[in-house]
Structure 1
Amino acid sequence: MTHRWYKPETLDCCTVEQLTLLKIGCLALCCTLVICSWSAWAECVQVAGQNAEVAEVMPLGPLLPSDPLQNETGPSAMPLIPLIRSKPVETTAENTTEAQPDRTLETTAEGTTALSSASTDTDDEKETVSEEDLDGSCESVGKSRRSLGLIARALQKSGLKLLAKLEPTEAEPNVIISPLSISLALSQLALGAVNETEGLLMNYLHGNNLSCYHETLHKALEQLKSDDLQIATRIFLAQGLELKQKFAEDSQRFYESKPVALEGLQQVNSWVAQATKGKIPEFLTSLPPQLLLMLINAVHFKGEWIARFDPQLTSKGVFYLNDNQLVDVEMMEGPKHPMSVYVDPIMEAHVARLRFQKRKSLILVLPTSGQVNVSRLAETLSLSEVYSRLPQEQDVKVTLPKLKLEYGQELKKAFTNLDLGLIFSNPDLSGIAEGSLIVTSVKHKSSMELNEEGAEATAATAVIISRMSTPIFSVDRPFFFSLVDDKTKVPIMMGVVNNPNPGAPTMRRPEPGNKDKEGYPVDKSEVSSKGLPPK
């Protein structure tokens, strides 16, 4: 068998891309993991800065039959995971690690029961496997309200931890991610992870609090699927790559993800475009060389407000970036919008809930002072507690900015800081296929749009309760938001909006008593035109 080596400029063959799109009451998410061979990756690195010639292509076996998308109105694209070949395992007296083709992750629906230990026969692992195998308890455990609650809490915690590692920039002052999308991508990867790699992924995904993680996540996904929220997955395989039977079976069982022959770029982009209902027409511009596998998970949300905003009431307003700056925005207004609002003394914030039809809600957290502190939110925010504290709905005068935001970020550094660096260096993914595999990059893109008809994952709010008969809820300064499924409490989307109109010039906030309520333009050398919050 001959191998193929690539020039340094083709290193992007090993990328993991996540593309998330939220659009007018519609949410589209896409995440990609690229798995390549370690030997090829090492060679690419070795010849960096040189002109490496391309040799013969490694012969690969027959393609799997193509499997067209069955849901023509399917969800919007989400996680795609491409892999390359990894470094061959060297067996020495000191580092001998036996391949365990049958283990392929002792997963139980929705994620592995993985342990943080690098060894596969620790007492804890034996106990976990014993519980699963004795009476098939994972089937019943996965359905329990407590387990589903733990899944929702795990998705929230992992999402907030990642969000805290992503700093806003001048180009992208708003940070938007999908905990559901990212967790589904990593959960599929975890199905083929072994030993320490599995343990690290499981610790990130649920803190090793769920012995039946995959089963429980699977049950949660079943409850999440509805007319306004659909989830679809796909495995694209390069020629000759044979998945291990357990990985293929578990992918189908837990995530309904079937392997399909990778025929070309158009095939992938067509699937993504269809899954996102045309919102992501060109997901990839080229297929990475040495690509072996892509795991794609697509989520599409389209929701309508329980009470729509009247477009005729939308008018020019201001959004206060901080104590000194503001920016012009289009503000939607609902004179009597049904919502729940309360002040949370622990989070030191106003918390509000705006409902969509079909049991989805937008939870808004607006700090009473200062910028949004995501690290503090990660320690204090509990969506289940928020729901338990929400007062009865009342008619509130709501002003909410129209949003059309985009976000893109390489997540490798963030995941490395979250103790997942091993998946980029020397992971054990032997449960997926023969040979050593490696993930080299994780990229995330998201887009969010909110209008009068509805939202999918939207921006939110500043809360002020007036003494008039109709309270006022004004979203006019930085806020945290989360799009949540009311039944499972699973966060579909979350983010921080620091500037809903990043392309517009910022203005000086008027001093008290200044009659110029619109403010006036400031020197661009003094204030970023993007409205980035001061550090």
Structure 2
Amino acid sequence: MDLCLTLLLICLCSLGTTNAEVAEDHSIPLISLNTSQPIEEGESQGTPEPTTLNKTTVTATSDLPTANKTSPDEEKGDSCQAISRSPDTKQTITAAIQRLGMQLLQNLETTPEQPNVIISPLSISLALSQLALGAKNETEELLMYHLHENSVPCYHESLRHVLMQLRNSDVQIATRMFLRQGFKGKQEFVNESLRYYDSEPAIVESLQQINEWVENATEGKMMDFLSFLPPNLLLMLINAVYFKGEWKARFDPNFTSKGVFYLDDLHLVDVDMMDDTKHQLSLLMDSELEAQVARFPFTKDMSLLVIMPESGRVNVSLLSSHLNISNLYERLPKERAVQVKVPKFKLEYSQELQEVLTKLGLGEVFLNPNLGGIADGPLLVSSVMHKSGMEINEDGARAAAATTTIISRASNPIFHLSQPFFFVLMDDVTHIPIFMGVINNPNPGAPVLQRGDVGSKDKKQSILPKLTHPD
């Protein structure tokens, strides 16, 4: 029986300091959109407001006399630079992203429509991190705890350096901030998003605009990211991650043939199976995991790490209790010639993450968050949408993911009693039903109309009307 390969994740195998990190003003390219518009009409983007470094205000002093001694803010900045470049800091951030990814996999359930789960822990971590820039007090503490368990000082600066290094590999990372016309966000939040995450602001114009941005950012790999724009949208924080890598040892298409993939002891499916009798890879049998571990290297410092339990079925909960990806990676032996069979596939996965993030303890972000760093007044996160996909073939692998955080104005719940209902008139003390009934038509004498006859004049109303009073 051919052993099935269960693809768990792409392992980022190198997080050391690179030459690109030495240049502090290193420009990180973003995929261009149409014209980015200012936040508010007449507001200049040329001279930014004072930005912050881990919530400590840094004010420009170019017009002040030059002094030899260093200010406290400069000392803080120098300290953050040292911390963010530290190998220990990068290792901690790596472990935090791995941990979040495993927690999500444990709580994301498969369905007959989506039997596979493919996520980008990097993209989701980036989305929550940018949201944390605008969070205050207990909401910021909650996000920081789930992002890195409060173990990384100067977190945003440190994550920025990790992103810089990833951009020097085969990974492309793009971010953007879309704002509803008329909505004014706080300039400090806009500045920090641009500084740490290169998230440029733009005005929301259409659904097509958003989807085209994601499509461009993922080199056409991900299309139709969103199916609609929420009517209560105020702000959208969106990022896209794209990877394209070539195998260090490619598969010969002439040896690809029909094979079988065993779903369990009783079921199997036909697949196109890539075959190589002498494929160079690192192979390890881990007795504690009761699984085979293989590392398929790409031409650059990236690899596909595969963990295949001997039982033939992946139990993520059991696997995660013993799994330390970095430790496992370090124990892999040198590459050697191995006879391998690998299924070709092209899969997509999409999921609204509100439920799973609530399970992980982030429910307050969707109910009553303090997002005072973004704008004044009550705001809430109405959606965290994630979509990802992966393709494996003879040449290598392509993977893409996008995550968007939708922020809207908090409002009172809506209840329209506009269809048949059951009622009970209750005594609150004894719970005796004084009256009860069913109302099918509250106006029996009125003529009955077809649904299409009602509100036909309003059919062309915009899904996303402009805000005339952004309060």
> What is the TM-score when the length of structure 2 is the normalising length?
0.68
| Cα distance, 1:373–1:133 mapped onto 2, change above 3 Å | farther
Structure 1 residue 378: deviation in Å? 2.5
| Cα distance, 1:134–1:213 mapped onto 2, change above 3 Å | closer
Secondary structure of the residue aligned to 2:321 is: helix
- 5 Å-filtered alignment, 1:277-426, equals 277-426=219-368
- 5 Å-filtered alignment, 1:150-299, equals 150-226=92-168, 228-299=170-241
Contact kept? 2:178, 2:204, Cα under 8 Å: yes
2:456 paired residue number: none
Structure 1 residue 106: deviation in Å? 3.4
Superposed CA offset, 1:353-385 (max 9, x none): 000111110001111225212123332222221
Secondary structure of the residue aligned to 1:456 is: strand
| Cα distance, 1:415–1:257 mapped onto 2, change above 3 Å | same
Whole-angstrom CA distance in 1 between matches of 2:106 and 2:52: 32
Structure 1 residue 401: deviation in Å? 0.4
Whole-angstrom CA distance in 2 between matches of 1:448 and 1:305: 15
Whole-angstrom CA distance in 2 between matches of 1:345 and 1:132: 51
Runs of 4+ in structure 1 deviating by more than 6 angstroms, as ranges, are: 102-105, 130-133
1:442 paired residue number: 384
Secondary structure of the residue aligned to 1:136 is: helix
Whole-angstrom CA distance in 2 between matches of 1:182 and 1:233: 12
Superposed CA offset, 1:267-305 (max 9, x none): 222222211222333333432212111111111111110
Contact kept? 1:194, 1:429, Cα under 8 Å: yes
Superposed CA offset, 1:29-74 (max 9, x none): xxxxxxxxxxxxxxxxxxxxxxxxxxxxxxxxxxxxxxxx96369x
| Cα distance, 1:298–1:445 mapped onto 2, change above 3 Å | closer
Structure 1 residue 327: deviation in Å? 1.4
Secondary structure of the residue aligned to 1:442 is: strand
Contact kept? 1:340, 1:394, Cα under 8 Å: yes
Aligned length: 345
| Cα distance, 1:70–1:190 mapped onto 2, change above 3 Å | closer
Contact kept? 2:252, 2:276, Cα under 8 Å: yes
Contact kept? 1:238, 1:262, Cα under 8 Å: yes
Structure 1 residue 308: deviation in Å? 1.0
Contact kept? 1:341, 1:351, Cα under 8 Å: yes
Structure 1 residue 313: deviation in Å? 0.5
Secondary structure of the residue aligned to 1:440 is: strand
Whole-angstrom CA distance in 2 between matches of 1:457 and 1:276: 9
Secondary structure of the residue aligned to 2:157 is: helix
Structure 1 residue 247: deviation in Å? 1.2
Contact kept? 1:107, 1:250, Cα under 8 Å: no
Whole-angstrom CA distance in 1 between matches of 2:331 and 2:74: 36
| Cα distance, 1:321–1:286 mapped onto 2, change above 3 Å | closer
- 5 Å-filtered alignment, 1:9-48, equals none
1:71 paired residue number: 31
Whole-angstrom CA distance in 2 between matches of 1:132 and 1:398: 55
| Cα distance, 1:231–1:134 mapped onto 2, change above 3 Å | closer
Structure 1 residue 449: deviation in Å? 1.4
Contact kept? 1:341, 1:350, Cα under 8 Å: yes
Amino acid at match of 2:257: S
Contact kept? 2:101, 2:120, Cα under 8 Å: yes
Moved more, 357-366 or 442-451: 442-451
Whole-angstrom CA distance in 2 between matches of 1:132 and 1:202: 24
Superposed CA offset, 1:106-156 (max 9, x none): 359xxxxxxxxxxxxxxxxxxxxx999646311111101010011111000
2:412 paired residue number: none
Amino acid at match of 1:453: D
1:15 paired residue number: none
Whole-angstrom CA distance in 2 between matches of 1:259 and 1:225: 21
Whole-angstrom CA distance in 1 between matches of 2:55 and 2:272: 48
Amino acid at match of 1:415: L
Secondary structure of the residue aligned to 2:347 is: strand
Contact kept? 1:105, 1:192, Cα under 8 Å: no
Contact kept? 1:236, 1:259, Cα under 8 Å: yes
Gaps of 5+ in 2: 1-6, 11-28, 34-49, 57-71, 402-471
Structure 1 residue 236: deviation in Å? 0.9
Amino acid at match of 1:334: D
Amino acid at match of 2:313: Q
Whole-angstrom CA distance in 2 between matches of 1:104 and 1:131: 10
2:441 paired residue number: none
Counterpart selection for 2:54 from 84, 87, 106 = 106
Whole-angstrom CA distance in 2 between matches of 1:259 and 1:211: 27
The share of aligned pairs that are identical, in percent, is: 55
Structure with max Cα Rg = 2
| Cα distance, 1:349–1:70 mapped onto 2, change above 3 Å | closer
Amino acid at match of 1:420: L
Contact kept? 2:169, 2:301, Cα under 8 Å: no
Whole-angstrom CA distance in 1 between matches of 2:32 and 2:338: 39
Secondary structure of the residue aligned to 2:231 is: coil
Secondary structure of the residue aligned to 1:380 is: coil
